[in-house]
Chains A and B, each alone.
Chain A
């Protein structure tokens, strides 16, 4: 008989998500674990940004759409600026391009660090291990004292927000736990420093005010460049010496997760961080289907709504997309639409970027980097499509971005104008394809009488957390959950680990 396993709400992600599954016992034994046979991701929040954008001044777009997400606002600013630039017929000047990249890079790094340490690590690390700590590290001694005091007190929720948690097998080795707990704390500083780096040119974070079509309002003075460089050096050491080694340690402690959470293996990347005006990007665009690299064709994207709470027509390209909420629609189970590429569900995110570029023509930097990490571990590249692979891809991408950011800082033209001027045409259309930390992000914009006629966003978690499409194909995370074995249905940590490996952002997914 089929049983239900749910995580409602699934916390330590951005936003409101509930995951429900159907599962069957793997054997007739009474204590037998359960195998998931069907999974459903339910996006539980809708704000209607696309309708709010209609009729507004198009320059409002990079400000309004940043507020779709407080974790990756710069990506929405970027997509919106790219769409406007196409509509206005301009590109940023050199400084503008570099500064936009630098602000985006800073936010990527803060997002990847917060995702691993503060959102995901508590699924692997045993925070209560600090109770056994006898060493001299001040961070760990203070934490130990706090947990002891808290547990001994009569508080109803001792050691909140770290307890209560699922009481399941975490990392057993105390030394590794202590180090990771200590790094959780260090990472709080690192992600804050990343935000400072972004604000050096972005004015403030979250939600930058300085990014505009054509570039940025902040002139790159020598003082600003140094301020960024100094912080980037700290972040660079953290990525190389702490973040990536920690990912490898978690991989070694949980080797079974190289084989869990595979999903479809179809990957999509729009590419990000333009290197010139000719379309070359640091992280390239492309599609990976059945292991074969293909060129991207944005016209092949549509959004389907059979199982979503919308009465809008289904299967429309974003330029024709509509938003008509129907919260009581029969058969629907999510506010998220189901975007498809040539009718296929696609995984997006750091893993997709890494795998698309790994398989791209030429000799991509990331290929050598991935191979150099996997080889000593004895892991074939196919295993990257897994829970561990997703985390690892995020860390390696961090290194990739850090290295390039140093080069951009050298290329910047000190004290030269940071933006190119433009006029706003009466009637025009444009789209902006970029990559958010969580994956492929597109904004599609049409203008009429100098105002926004239509605005549509297809966002990374819209792809990953999508419900079933019109043909009944499950979304990528739903697919990745099928077949996973859950030891304790009351504490389905295996499900949580798979879902979090995608770094879902629900505010983005529905917007």
Chain B
């Protein structure tokens, strides 16, 4: 059996931060987090609301450490609906016993319906009723994905369920948020963002976050537009005009990079094989609180010529036309 040394943890933690070019302060903190989780001082309860499980699937794409290494060496994943062998009545026993004892981090994937509470039910109880005591007793709460963070598509204009993100839910239920809730948006969340955030929260406590959005600075402080590999094309006003054009700024096709704050340009996706801009696909700002929210704010510009759009062009940020 491998001896788990400080060096080992630093090595594992450096993976999360290396590609993101973070300072050693973050690396140290994440290493301490992994070590602490390894000592089993913290348990993780992962619950799903109005979700598509995409963030769970994305979590499984984590590498170095991969999902099994995380489950066996770094965290005690007490319950996760898609992964756990546990089913049926045992699920309620596990959740009850855990919340009775305390000392856990709660991960919430998906939005919470407060307009139609019956729209998400666990064991015959609306999740809107199940969550408050579990949130209150948690050491920290991590909202994963744009649904968990800001409501996402379930909370988009025209929705019928009254879906909200965890922050808005806690505000409605008057549960204290300060220094407890961390938002990890993204549709889905990037695997390294969720693993790194869990590690930091457990090891060092509450991470430095954007005060309004509650997103950890270590993963969400970079403007996709500012770091875009096609930034030079934007400056020179060389634009892609059609889907599939391999060169040029994607702004005229609808790119929402200026609205997006993630480190996608640095870390890329799926082991670094690709990401949206590199594939000539406009950024759809999937980490933004505004993601998909307004019917009159389309992802692509191609359709815009056919109908009135009710936003100002400056809403897109950096419009050169």
* Interface: A255 (CB within 8 A): no
CB distance A47 to B121 under 8 Å?
Answer: no
* Residues from 165 to 191 in A contacting B, C-beta threshold 8 Å: 165-166, 185, 188-189, 191
- State the Cβ distance, A227 to closest chain B Cβ, in Å: 6
CB distance B303 to A57 under 8 Å?
Answer: yes
Total number of A residues with any Cβ neighbor in B under 8 Å: 104
CB distance B244 to A54 under 8 Å?
Answer: no
- State the Cβ distance, A383 to closest chain B Cβ, in Å: 27
CB distance A157 to B1 under 8 Å?
Answer: no
Interface centre among A114, A155, A209, A417 (most CB of B within 10 A): A209
CB distance B94 to A217 under 8 Å?
Answer: no
Q: Which residues of A contact B87 (CB under 8 A)?
A: 7, 9-12, 165-166, 496
CB distance B57 to A12 under 8 Å?
Answer: no
Select which of A165, A192, A327 is within 8 A of B63 by beta carbon: A192
Q: Which residues of A contact B60 (CB under 8 A)?
A: 114, 118, 188, 191-192
CB distance A52 to B158 under 8 Å?
Answer: yes
* Interface: B302 (CB within 8 A): yes
CB distance A209 to B94 under 8 Å?
Answer: no
Q: Which residues of B contact A63 (CB under 8 A)?
A: 284, 292, 299
CB distance B120 to A45 under 8 Å?
Answer: yes
CB distance A47 to B161 under 8 Å?
Answer: yes
Select which of A8, A96, A114, A450 is within 8 A of B89 by beta carbon: A8
- State the Cβ distance, B288 to closest chain A Cβ, in Å: 13
* Interface: B185 (CB within 8 A): no
* Interface: B156 (CB within 8 A): yes
Q: Which residues of A contact B160 (CB under 8 A)?
A: 48, 51, 323, 325
Interface centre among A13, A63, A325 (most CB of B within 10 A): A63
- State the Cβ distance, B6 to closest chain A Cβ, in Å: 19
CB distance B302 to A195 under 8 Å?
Answer: no
Q: Which residues of A contact B278 (CB under 8 A)?
A: 203
Total number of B residues with any Cβ neighbor in A under 8 Å: 94
Bound together, the chains give a CA A122 to CA B146 distance in angstroms of: 31
CB distance B284 to A46 under 8 Å?
Answer: no
CB distance A202 to B279 under 8 Å?
Answer: yes
Chain A contact residues: over half helix, strand or loop, or mixed? loop
* Interface: A392 (CB within 8 A): no
Bound together, the chains give a CA A449 to CA B308 distance in angstroms of: 11
Please encode chain A, from 425 to 442, with 1 for each CB lying within 8 Å of some chain B CB and 0 for all others. Answer: 010000000000000000
Please encode chain B, from 47 to 67, with 1 for each CB lying within 8 Å of some chain A CB and 0 for all others. Answer: 010111111111011010011
Q: Which residues of A contact B2 (CB under 8 A)?
A: 142
CB distance A164 to B86 under 8 Å?
Answer: yes
CB distance B270 to A196 under 8 Å?
Answer: yes
Across the interface, name the chain A residue whose C-beta is closest to B80: A161
Query: Could you say which of A69-77, A245-253, A353-361, A402-410 contacts chain B?
Result: A69-77
CB distance A142 to B188 under 8 Å?
Answer: no
Query: Could you say which of B11-19, B69-77, B199-207 contacts chain A?
Result: B69-77
Please encode chain A, from 187 to 211, with 1 for each CB lying within 8 Å of some chain B CB and 0 for all others. Answer: 0110110011011111111111110
Across the interface, name the chain B residue whose C-beta is closest to A160: B78
Please encode chain B, from 272 to 311, with 1 for each CB lying within 8 Å of some chain A CB and 0 for all others. Answer: 0111101111111010000010010011101110110000
Q: Which residues of B contact A38 (CB under 8 A)?
A: none
CB distance A57 to B83 under 8 Å?
Answer: no
Bound together, the chains give a CA A70 to CA B51 distance in angstroms of: 8
Question: Do A188 and B88 contact each other (CB < 8 Å), given the known contacts A70-B54, A209-B282?
Answer: no
Q: Which residues of B contact A70 (CB under 8 A)?
A: 51-58, 188
* Interface: A229 (CB within 8 A): no
CB distance B101 to A46 under 8 Å?
Answer: no
CB distance A44 to B270 under 8 Å?
Answer: no
Question: Do A45 and B50 contact each other (CB < 8 Å), given the known contacts A156-B98, A325-B116?
Answer: yes
Bound together, the chains give a CA A57 to CA B76 distance in angstroms of: 44
* Interface: B154 (CB within 8 A): yes
Bound together, the chains give a CA A325 to CA B91 distance in angstroms of: 28
Select which of B72, B85, B307 is within 8 A of A122 by beta carbon: B85
Across the interface, name the chain B residue whose C-beta is closest to A449: B307
Question: Do A450 and B119 contact each other (CB < 8 Å), given the known contacts A142-B1, A216-B244?
Answer: no
Bound together, the chains give a CA A50 to CA B89 distance in angstroms of: 33
CB distance A200 to B244 under 8 Å?
Answer: no
How many residue pairs between the two chains, A and B, have CB atoms under 8 Å in the bound complex? Answer: 304
* Residues from 221 to 268 in A contacting B, C-beta threshold 8 Å: 227
CB distance A9 to B88 under 8 Å?
Answer: yes
Bound together, the chains give a CA A7 to CA B88 distance in angstroms of: 4
* Interface: B106 (CB within 8 A): no
* Residues from 306 to 360 in A contacting B, C-beta threshold 8 Å: 309, 323, 325, 327-328, 335
Select which of A64, A96, A118, A451 is within 8 A of B153 by beta carbon: A64
Interface centre among B123, B153, B304 (most CB of A within 10 A): B153
* Interface: A127 (CB within 8 A): yes
Please encode chain A, from 445 to 463, with 1 for each CB lying within 8 Å of some chain B CB and 0 for all others. Answer: 0000111000000000000
* Interface: B84 (CB within 8 A): yes
* Interface: B82 (CB within 8 A): yes
Bound together, the chains give a CA A73 to CA B119 distance in angstroms of: 21
Select which of B163, B243, B270, B298 is within 8 A of A205 by beta carbon: B270
CB distance A155 to B76 under 8 Å?
Answer: yes
Bound together, the chains give a CA A55 to CA B294 distance in angstroms of: 10
Bound together, the chains give a CA A374 to CA B70 distance in angstroms of: 39
Across the interface, name the chain B residue whose C-beta is closest to A495: B88
Please encode chain B, from 107 to 129, with 1 for each CB lying within 8 Å of some chain A CB and 0 for all others. Answer: 00000010010111111100000
* Interface: A146 (CB within 8 A): yes
Bound together, the chains give a CA A59 to CA B309 distance in angstroms of: 14
Bound together, the chains give a CA A57 to CA B297 distance in angstroms of: 8
Q: Which residues of B contact A293 (CB under 8 A)?
A: none
CB distance A327 to B52 under 8 Å?
Answer: no
Select which of A14, A210, A424 is within 8 A of B302 by beta carbon: A424
CB distance B83 to A118 under 8 Å?
Answer: yes
Q: Which residues of B contact A7 (CB under 8 A)?
A: 87-88
Question: Do A59 and B298 contact each other (CB < 8 Å), given the known contacts A164-B86, A218-B280?
Answer: yes
* Interface: B159 (CB within 8 A): yes
Across the interface, name the chain B residue whose C-beta is closest to A205: B270
Bound together, the chains give a CA A218 to CA B269 distance in angstroms of: 15
- Taking A12-B85, A157-B94, A492-B88 as known contacts, 4 extra A-B pairs with beta carbons closer than 8 A to each other, sorted by chain A number, are A18-B124, A63-B284, A165-B85, A192-B270
30 contacts between A and B (CB under 8 A): A8-B124, A48-B154, A52-B154, A55-B158, A57-B299, A64-B156, A67-B54, A68-B52, A70-B55, A73-B52, A73-B54, A142-B2, A142-B72, A153-B40, A157-B76, A160-B84, A164-B90, A188-B66, A199-B274, A201-B274, A203-B278, A204-B269, A204-B270, A217-B244, A218-B280, A325-B119, A325-B161, A327-B118, A450-B307, A492-B88
For the complex of A and B, list the 5 residue pairs with the smallest distance between their C-beta atoms, beginning with the closest: A70-B54, A450-B306, A57-B298, A203-B279, A204-B269
